[in-house]
């Protein structure tokens, strides 16, 4: 069994509820949880607690990591769930981009509100929230400077 579950949200009201809950958590993070150092690192991206893309995107994909499964009435751990879910999300993002769709990985912290809003069981832990749709005409992507390959690749 795969250690993830994808929940696709297209209902406007549910997306609105998710946005409100995410902005509440983000407000708390930006104002009380994040250090000044972290806020300085985020500044070039222009992010803040406001998340209008959660209402605008036609779809939200919420990826949950499954921590345990029930087999024969016994709870069994899901081994390497974090790694497996990360790989699955990477493949999903590449496929969506290949289709010409725009995505954004959004990870408000904590994300328990997604579990509650979407009625997921306790063994399904929110991993990432991905708004998906065609890019807006005026979409702006931050110009993030990438390190040259020679700085990140070591050949032995």
- Residue boundaries of the structural domains of the chain: 4-152
* Confidence (pLDDT) at 101: 95
Q: Which fold has domain 4-152?
A: NADH Oxidase (3.40.109)
- pTM of whole model > 0.85? yes
Cα gap 17→19, rounded to integer Å: 5
What average pLDDT does the segment 64-77 reach? 81
Compare 106 and 69 and report the one with higher pLDDT.
106
* Confidence (pLDDT) at 108: 86
Q: pLDDT at residue 58 above 90?
A: yes
Cα dihedral 128, 133, 136, 142 in deg (nearest 10): 30
């Amino acid at each position: 069994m795969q250690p993830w579950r994808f929940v696709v949200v297209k209902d406007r009201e549910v997306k609105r509820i998710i946005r409100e809950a995410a902005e509440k958590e983000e407000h708390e993070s930006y104002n009380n949880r994040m250090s000044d150092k972290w806020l300085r690192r985020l500044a070039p991206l222009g992010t803040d607690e406001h998340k209008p893309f959660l209402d605008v995107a036609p779809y939200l994909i919420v990826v949950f990591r499954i921590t345990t499964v029930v087999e024969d009435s016994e709870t069994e751990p899901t081994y390497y769930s974090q790694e497996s879910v990360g790989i699955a999300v990477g493949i999903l993002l590449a496929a969506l981009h290949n289709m010409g769709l725009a995505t954004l990985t959004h990870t408000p912290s904590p994300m328990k509100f997604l579990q509650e809003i979407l009625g997921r069981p306790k063994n399904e832990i929110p991993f990432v929230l991905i708004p998906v749709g065609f890019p807006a005409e005026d979409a702006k992507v931050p110009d993030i400077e990438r390190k040259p390959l020679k700085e990140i690749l070591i050949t032995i």
